[in-house]
A = this chain, B = another copy of it.
Amino acid sequence: MPRVSQDQLDARRHEILAAARGCFARYGYEGATVRRLEDATGLSRGAIFHHFRDKDSLFLAVAEDDAAAMVETVTRNGLVQVMRDLLERAGASAGDGDTAGWLGTQLEVSRRLRTDPAFAKRWAERSNAIATATRERLQRQRDAGVLRDDVPVEVLTQFLELAYDGMVLHLATGRPPGELSRVLDLVEEAVRRA
């Protein structure tokens, strides 16, 4: 039997994560049974848990995958742009499985943070990475003179995070985007130099 290359392993892992994300989003953590994960991925439980130790590890990998992608976007374009992208995707197609899945996973993370201290501890590291990327980008903007300078960078960071959390909760609960695009203009204006 030919050996499986690292590329093939990575590709398989990526496929499992994508399918599992949709499954967690749709059924929640508890409702995403191993049987449903098998159906969603088209793989046996043996194949799935060859890549991820258990369901909890799979869920955390999905959430970490999302967080890592977000850190990249924040570093490059800032947290407001992350929100604009999210809004655009949510508005473009209400039935967009990827975006709905991503939002659903975010709420599921929130739920587990509240009810599962061990998960909260494992999660804190990733969550800090997003805050750090946001803070560092704001500091660079302040150095460049485009940010208001009468409010500490830390407060501006938490202001943007508050807006981000609000947008996740708004969209994840299926509410229409409404005027959120103009709301984001206000958010952006509030951190800029007048």
Contacts and interface: CB of A to CB of B under 8 A. Distances in A.
Q: For the complex, would chain A's binding face be called helix, strand, loop or mixed by DSSP majority?
A: helix
Copies in the complex: 2
A186 interface: yes
Interface stretch (A55-63, A91-99, A158-166): A158-166
Interface stretch (A6-14, A39-47, A177-185): A177-185
A158 B173 contact: no
Interface range on chain A (Cβ under 8 Å from partner): 35 or more
A189 interface: yes
A173 B104 contact: no
A69 B30 CA distance: 32
26 contacts: A28-B111, A107-B110, A107-B111, A107-B114, A110-B172, A110-B173, A111-B111, A114-B172, A114-B173, A114-B174, A151-B186, A152-B182, A154-B179, A156-B186, A158-B179, A159-B183, A161-B170, A162-B183, A163-B166, A165-B165, A165-B166, A165-B169, A166-B169, A168-B169, A169-B169, A186-B190
